[in-house]
Amino acid sequence: MNRKRIGNLGEAMAEVMLVERGYQIIARNFKCRFGEVDIIARRGGMMAFVEVKTRLSRRYGDGTEAVTEAKQQRIRRCAEYYLSVNEWVYSSVDFQVIEISAFHLEGLDFAG
């Protein structure tokens, strides 16, 4: 499975989690000249800009470690741009990182 497909699956899982927690998904993979935001969601008056990191192993560290200060700045700039060109009424803005980890699996013991 390639990295893009793994990332897409992780984003779909994050979307389900957000919806279950009362968020409305506004946009996915929003791109602008400043970068990209994986998911833009809304709950009540709060706009959430979400970065999703999907990991199949810990080889390259945790997903949250990959959201560097530079990446955070790009996400903030994208959020500012998105809010400036869209007419959403909101009371607050939230930035979130959702990490999907698939490196810990447990099996069942079957008695023979």
Stated pTM of the model: 0.85
Domain hosting residue 13, numbered range = 3-101
Whether residue 106 is contained in a domain is answered as: no
Q: Is residue 107 part of a domain?
A: no
Domain contains 59: yes
Residue 109 belongs to some domain of the structure: no
Is residue 93 situated within a structural domain? yes
- Confirm whether 110 is domain-assigned: no
Q: Which of 16-25, 65-74, 99-108 has the lowest mean pLDDT?
A: 99-108
Q: How far is CA 9 from CA 14, 44, 84, in A?
A: 9, 26, 30
Over residues 78-93, the pLDDT tens digits come to: 999 999 999 888 999 9
Structure-model confidence comparison of residues 105 and 59, the more confident one: 59
Alpha helices in the chain (DSSP H): 3-20, 69-85
Give the mean model confidence (pLDDT) for residues 1-15: 86
Contact 96, 60 (CB under 8 A): no
CA–CA dist 7, 38 (Å, integer): 10
Give me the number of domains the chain comprises.
1
CATH at 75: 3.40.1350.10
DSSP 88-100: ---SEEEEEEEEE
Per the domain annotation, does 70 fall within a domain? yes
Confidence grade of residue 30 (pLDDT, cut at 50, 70, 90): very high
